[in-house]
């Protein structure tokens, strides 16, 4: 059932959460993303449904991959909060999810005044220190910086689960193609041995639904070109995520998800 935007939940950040976050970010204090997630979600008591938690492995390293669901009033970080809160409860006693996120925004304005990407780079770097997250450089040409981000994620992966949204800033309410290079990045992070946990977020009417799927491993052949390996990795991840969602949210992956589900049924 579709609901008009005017009647959809509008998630807010409670003032006390903003004040505490700003204070600790400036002072360089660490905070728990899971604790802050619960605080934000308690302040937004909208209908939410969590499915498939039985698929979450009880132990071992884990790479969470989810779609970048986005609309006014419900942003991707709200969805990440729901995922983190659910996983922290499910995996009691284990480290919380450390998320990767973009290192900067571009072409943003306050009214008519443009905001320099350097401002976002500074702010996001402070946020990363506060929550022990990993900012990922947006420019594919920054090979050394992306390699450093990969090593940072790998270190966190040795301690507990990490989370990424392969679509990057290409956020939408339906699936979109991740930027080129993101498939190889995920392949290198998983190294063929670390399982990926697909998570899909969408709205069923006015209720946010988050569904966890069965873990999988990225497969690749060293005989393929880098471009082909990248494409196949992106497809494998996005099809795994999309297969958890209703068809109307498949977006750019509709044909590929339909073909994958058809092949699985035969």
Each residue's pLDDT tens digit, 211-220:
999 999 997 7
Q: How far apart are CA 161 and CA 34, in angstroms?
A: 13
Query: In degrees rounded to 5, what are phi and psi of residue 164?
Result: -145, 155
Q: Can you give the pTM of this predicted structure?
A: 0.91
- Which domain, by its residues, includes 119? 5-265
* The token pair that represents 195 in the structure block: 């399982």
**Residues 6 or more apart whose Cβ sits within 8 Å of residue 47:** 9, 206, 207, 208
Q: How confident is the model at residue 169, as a pLDDT?
A: 78
Q: Specify the number of domains making up the chain.
A: 1
| CB-count exposure of residue 187 (10 Å: 0-12, 13-18, 19+) | buried
pLDDT in tens, 11-62: 999 988 889 888 998 888 999 999 999 999 999 999 999 999 999 998 889 9
Q: How confident is the model at residue 3, as a pLDDT?
A: 52
pLDDT in tens, 65-87: 999 999 999 999 999 999 999 99
Average pLDDT of the residues of the chain: 89
pLDDT in tens, 73-130: 999 999 999 999 999 999 988 899 999 988 777 777 777 788 887 888 888 888 899 9
Q: How far apart are CA 95 and CA 117, in angstroms?
A: 32
**Residues 6 or more apart whose Cβ sits within 8 Å of residue 83:** 64, 66, 97, 163, 199, 201, 210
132 phi-psi bin (left φ>0, alpha ψ -120 to 50, beta other): left
- Among residues 63, 229, 254, 263, the alpha carbon closest in space to that of 177 is found at 254
Contact 200, 211 (CB under 8 A): yes
* The token pair that represents 149 in the structure block: 């981000």
| CB-count exposure of residue 110 (10 Å: 0-12, 13-18, 19+) | exposed
Contact 94, 60 (CB under 8 A): no
The CA-based angle 213-214-220, given to 5 degrees, is: 115
- Among residues 169, 173, 158, 133, the alpha carbon closest in space to that of 34 is found at 133
DSSP, collapsed to helix, strand or coil, labels residue 130 as helix
Contact 165, 77 (CB under 8 A): no
Q: How confident is the model at residue 93, as a pLDDT?
A: 86
């Amino acid at each position: 059932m579709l609901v008009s935007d005017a009647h959809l939940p509008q998630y807010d950040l409670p003032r006390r959460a903003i004040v505490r976050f700003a204070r600790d970010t400036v002072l360089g204090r660490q905070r728990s993303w899971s604790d802050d997630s619960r605080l934000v979600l308690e302040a937004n008591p909208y209908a939410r449904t969590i499915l498939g938690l039985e698929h979450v492995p009880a132990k071992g390293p884990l790479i969470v991959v989810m779609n970048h669901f986005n609309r006014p009033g419900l942003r991707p970080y709200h969805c990440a909060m729901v995922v983190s809160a659910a996983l922290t409860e499910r995996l009691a006693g284990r480290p919380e999810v450390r998320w990767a996120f973009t290192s900067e925004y571009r072409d943003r304005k306050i009214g008519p005044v443009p905001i320099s990407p350097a401002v976002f780079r500074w702010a996001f770097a402070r946020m990363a220190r506060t929550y022990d997250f990993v900012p990922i450089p947006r420019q594919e040409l920054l090979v050394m910086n992306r390699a450093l981000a990969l090593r940072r994620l790998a270190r966190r992966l040795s301690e507990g689960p990490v989370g990424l949204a392969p679509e990057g800033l290409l956020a939408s309410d339906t699936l979109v193609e991740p930027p080129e290079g993101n498939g190889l990045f995920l392949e290198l992070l998983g190294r063929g041995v670390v399982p990926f946990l697909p998570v899909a977020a969408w709205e069923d009417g006015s209720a946010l639904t988050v569904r966890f799927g069965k873990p999988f491993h990225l497969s690749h052949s060293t005989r393929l070109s880098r471009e082909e390996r990248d494409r196949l990795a992106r497809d494998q991840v996005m099809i795994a995520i999309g297969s958890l969602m209703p068809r109307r949210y498949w977006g750019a992956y509709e044909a590929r998800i339909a073909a994958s589900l058809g092949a699985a049924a035969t």
